Amino acid sequence: MSRKHLFANEESALHEGNDASLQAASVQAATLSAQGFELPTVFHRPAVRRFNNRRQTKLICLVSAAILVAIALIGVLLMPVAMESDLSQARQAPSFEHPFGTDNLGHDMLIRTVAGLSTSIGIGLFAALVSSIIALILGTVAALGGKKADACITWLTDLMLGIPHIVFLLLISYALGKGFWGVALGVAFTHWPSLCRVIRAEVLQVKQSSYVAVARSLGRSPLYIALHHVLPAVLPQYLVGLILMFPHAILHEAAITFLGFGLPPEQPAIGIILSESMSYLSVGMWWLAVFPGLALLLVVLLFDRAGQGLRRLLDPARAQE
Amino acid sequence: MASLVARNIVKFIVLMFAVSVVTFVLVGISPIDPVQANVGQSAYASMSEDQRADLARYWGTGTPLFERYINWASAFIQGDMGTSLRFNAPVSEVLVNRSFNTLALMALAWVLSGIFGLAMGIVAGIKQGTLIDRIIKGYCFVLASTPTFWLALIVLMVFAVWLGWFPIGFSAPIGKSAADITIFDLLHHIILPALTLSVVGVANVALHTREKTIDIMESDYIRFAQARGMSRLQAARKHGLRNLALPAISLQFASISEIFGGSVLVEQVFSYPGLGQAAVNAGVGSDVALLVGITLVSAAIVFGGNLIANILYRVIDPRIKRRGDAL
């Protein structure tokens, strides 16, 4: 086997970025050197062998999504158990039996935390869906509906962003009588402005593109153009915006519940757990605050990871960052 | 210039009007009965009809929403923001007292997060791709996902309960008369909440500054400076810093809304008597006048922050300075 051929082999392996063929080439090289051939010097070879970025990103997305779905499902199943209290087990520090410890009434904190996270994910899902649909509709109308519609929607967006988010959530939750719907609708109605701006800009860009102009001069109806040209173009942005809305929605749900305007106290929720833990801080029951908060942080990070990953997959220009 | 000022004044008035209407409507449609929320079930049940009618008049539950708004608005124009039923004092007085605490807290946190964020962003940007860059980036991503109130709880637990370095709450020692409270007392009480609040604000500025620094370090003028023999660090300090500082400052102004939101949570955890805590109190106790007052003040603070940010953007970037551009 000629030297040239070996090079070509290495090179094609590198071009494909295919681990298997790279390995085959190096095995081949090893056997060749064992047979007394002189080994060629390889100048370009990745220092660390790894997955290519796209595969890695896909994997991260899938794993995060799987963990989140698992937490949500397990949480729903654990809901009845989370309500059970066992006073003989009250106030226990984390142990093998109760990894997150138990609270004043003997609730197992791990079970309560998972159940609470499941509630949070549910509310986040609902709120992000509603909010993103509002954003999609308003953003499209602002971009396509003429000057007056645009001015109105821009003003509304500015108004929404003009009141601090938490204060707005307080007001909406209060208006709806607090409780589950107070927090769910509050979070759902307040997260659309930034995505609305993105979608408006995106639609404006598509509107000015030549293929839309061609479609229009071919006599396509506005509805046809919206469904066949605008929608596919903004869909990636919409999906990414939707997923990146989750972390915000979940954090706000927890915050508003913590302040006492959200879920009722008997429901297992991270906000409730943490606001209850405040009374026991000075007694030294640190586990009541530490673990549920960490779990919430983890869920938020997972959503963020999944969203960022999806953005990379959908936007090849930024995929190698 | 004059038209610019006029336009912003009009914008501000329209905003205040809209915010007050929104707040009134939201509070007005609430199914929560302020009388029962404040008096308590058992006390309410044992009252005579006369007393109940008196209370309803006191809390204004009988009057229709529109009428209440007109009454409030006409008084507001004359400078009367109504009476806080919860604190039993004029709303303006409560607001002034509370605003001082909140503004001090926010200002301290705002400056700290700006300085830390800028420094971290520049270091990460100059050392792009190195370990320290990764650490800073990771730190920012984790922080951006951290619930503010949880962080506040942890900080409170570690530094106030365990180590005992700082007081557990309030803005001044309990049981000390107002005259005896020193500036040291106030500082001692504000440090923990302000630090917590600033830690949360760091991520945004740091990540933004990092991107900017990377752009600048790849620019021709930095390359030229290095060609003249300056080190990377020197070049960044001499030529990069002023290009980085102003955008970061304007970004900081634009993020005042978030800092205010964070202060509501932090005040609640640290029992710090500021606007945020008053807002939660007003919401729990259905104190409409106070709730409207606080919403207006918070919207005004956010408006001010955005206005300064927009002005700074124009100062920094002459390209934005277009005639008739909406500021």
Q: What CATH code is carried by the domain that includes residue A223?
A: 1.10.3720.10
Looking at residue A130, its pLDDT comes to 94
- Min mean pLDDT across A99-103, A165-169, A176-180, B90-94 is at A99-103
Measured between CB atoms, does A90 come within 8 Å of chain B? no
Q: Do A261 and B283 touch (CB under 8 A)?
A: yes
Domain boundary among A50, A66, A89: A50
Q: B219-265: per-residue pLDDT in tens? A: 888 888 888 888 888 888 888 887 788 778 888 888 888 888 889 99
Instruction: Look at strands B89-90 and B83-84 and give their pairing.
Output: antiparallel
If you count them, how many residues does chain A have?
321
**Domain of A38, in residue numbers:** 1-50
- From A252, which residue of chain B is nearest by alpha-carbon distance? B147
Q: B11-67: per-residue pLDDT in tens? A: 899 999 999 888 888 888 888 777 666 666 666 666 677 777 776 666 666 667 777
Q: Least CB-CB distance to A296: which of B19, B144, B150?
A: B150
Enclosing H/E stretch for B83: strand B83-84
Tell me which residue of B64, B84, B79, B77 sits closest to B24, measured CA to CA. B64
The residue with tokens 């302040």 is A259
Q: Least CB-CB distance to B157: which of A167, A289, A297?
A: A289
Q: How many structural domains compose chain A?
A: 2
Mean pLDDT in residue range A54-62: 83
Enclosing H/E stretch for B301: helix B288-316
Chain A hits for B29, Cβ within 8 Å: 175
Measured between CB atoms, does A304 come within 8 Å of chain B? yes
Considering the domain architecture, whether residues A202 and A120 belong to the same structural domain is answered as: yes
Q: Do A171 and B26 touch (CB under 8 A)?
A: yes
Tell me which residue of A143, A128, A132 sits closest to A187, measured CA to CA. A128
Enumerate the CATH 1.10.3720.10 domain ranges in chain B, comma separated: 97-326
Considering the domain architecture, whether residues A67 and A168 belong to the same structural domain is answered as: yes
Looking at residue A34, its pLDDT comes to 59
Measured between CB atoms, does A156 come within 8 Å of chain B? no
Looking at residue A2, its pLDDT comes to 43
Considering the domain architecture, whether residues A137 and A194 belong to the same structural domain is answered as: yes
Q: B192-214: per-residue pLDDT in tens? A: 888 888 887 888 889 888 888 88
Cβ(B281)–Cβ(B86) below 8 Å: yes
- From B304, which residue of chain A is nearest by alpha-carbon distance? A162
Q: Per-residue pLDDT for A3 more than 60?
A: no
Confidence of residue A56 (pLDDT cuts 50, 70, 90): confident
Considering the domain architecture, whether residues A104 and A22 belong to the same structural domain is answered as: no
Cβ(A67)–Cβ(A55) below 8 Å: no
Q: From the CA of A133, how many Å to the nearest CA of chain B?
A: 22
Domain boundary among A19, A34, A50: A50
Structure tokens given for B270? 């640290």
Q: A26-49: per-residue pLDDT in tens? A: 556 556 555 666 666 666 665 565
Q: B284-325: per-residue pLDDT in tens? A: 877 888 888 899 999 999 999 888 888 877 776 666 555 444
Considering the domain architecture, whether residues A155 and A231 belong to the same structural domain is answered as: yes
- From B279, which residue of chain A is nearest by alpha-carbon distance? A167
DSSP string, A122-172: HHHHHHHHHHHHHHHHHHHHHHHSHHHHHHHHHHHHHHHHHS-HHHHHHHH
Chain A hits for B269, Cβ within 8 Å: 278
Cβ(A274)–Cβ(A292) below 8 Å: yes
Cβ(A200)–Cβ(A143) below 8 Å: yes
Mean pLDDT in residue range B132-139: 90
Considering the domain architecture, whether residues A60 and A41 belong to the same structural domain is answered as: no
Confidence of residue A15 (pLDDT cuts 50, 70, 90): very low
Q: From the CA of A203, how many Å to the nearest CA of chain B?
A: 21
Mutate to test the interface with A, among B149, B258, B290 (most CBs of A within 10 A): B149
Looking at residue B216, its pLDDT comes to 85
Compute CA distances B40 → B34, B37, B43, B46, B304, whole Å: 10, 6, 6, 10, 40
Q: From the CA of A122, how many Å to the nearest CA of chain B?
A: 18
Q: Do B150 and A293 touch (CB under 8 A)?
A: yes
Q: Per-residue pLDDT for A10 more than 70?
A: no
For A122, phi then psi, to 5°, come to -60, -50
The residue with tokens 């922080």 is B143
Compute CA distances B169 → A119, B159, B164, B280, whole Å: 31, 12, 12, 17
Chain A hits for B137, Cβ within 8 Å: none
- From B263, which residue of chain A is nearest by alpha-carbon distance? A166
Considering the domain architecture, whether residues A206 and A126 belong to the same structural domain is answered as: yes
Compute CA distances A275 → A93, A256, A263, B84, B151, whole Å: 19, 11, 12, 26, 13
Q: Do B23 and A171 touch (CB under 8 A)?
A: yes
Q: Do B294 and A167 touch (CB under 8 A)?
A: yes
Considering the domain architecture, whether residues A7 and A150 belong to the same structural domain is answered as: no
Q: Do B26 and A175 touch (CB under 8 A)?
A: yes
Q: Per-residue pLDDT for A64 more than 90?
A: no
Q: CA gyration radius for chain A? A: 27
Mutate to test the interface with A, among B150, B200, B264, B310 (most CBs of A within 10 A): B150
- Look at the domain B97-326 and name its fold: MetI-like fold (1.10.3720)
Looking at residue A131, its pLDDT comes to 93
If you count them, how many residues does chain B have?
327
Report the distance separating Cα B86 and Cα B38, nearest Å: 9
Looking at residue B240, its pLDDT comes to 80
Cβ(A223)–Cβ(A239) below 8 Å: no
The residue with tokens 């960022």 is A308
Q: From the CA of A128, how many Å to the nearest CA of chain B?
A: 16
Looking at residue A16, its pLDDT comes to 46
Report the distance separating Cα B295 and Cα B26, nearest Å: 12
Q: Do B150 and A289 touch (CB under 8 A)?
A: yes
Sign of the torsion formed by the C-alpha atoms of A72, A74, A80 and A84:
negative
Q: Do A281 and B298 touch (CB under 8 A)?
A: no
Cβ(B254)–Cβ(A232) below 8 Å: no
Quote the mean pLDDT of chain A.
80
Sign of the torsion formed by the C-alpha atoms of A19, A21, A24 and A26:
negative
Count of A–B CB contacts within 8 Å? 132
Considering the domain architecture, whether residues A166 and A83 belong to the same structural domain is answered as: yes
Q: B65-78: per-residue pLDDT in tens? A: 777 788 888 888 88
For A108, phi then psi, to 5°, come to -75, 120
pLDDT above 70 covers a percentage of chain B that reads: 85
Q: A149-202: per-residue pLDDT in tens? A: 899 998 999 888 888 888 999 999 988 888 888 899 999 999 999 899 888 988
Report the distance separating Cα A7 and Cα B2, nearest Å: 73
Confidence of residue A5 (pLDDT cuts 50, 70, 90): very low
Chain A hits for B25, Cβ within 8 Å: 175
Measured between CB atoms, does A319 come within 8 Å of chain B? no
Measured between CB atoms, does A47 come within 8 Å of chain B? no
**3-state DSSP call for residue A177?**
coil
Looking at residue B29, its pLDDT comes to 82
Report the distance separating Cα A159 and Cα B148, nearest Å: 24
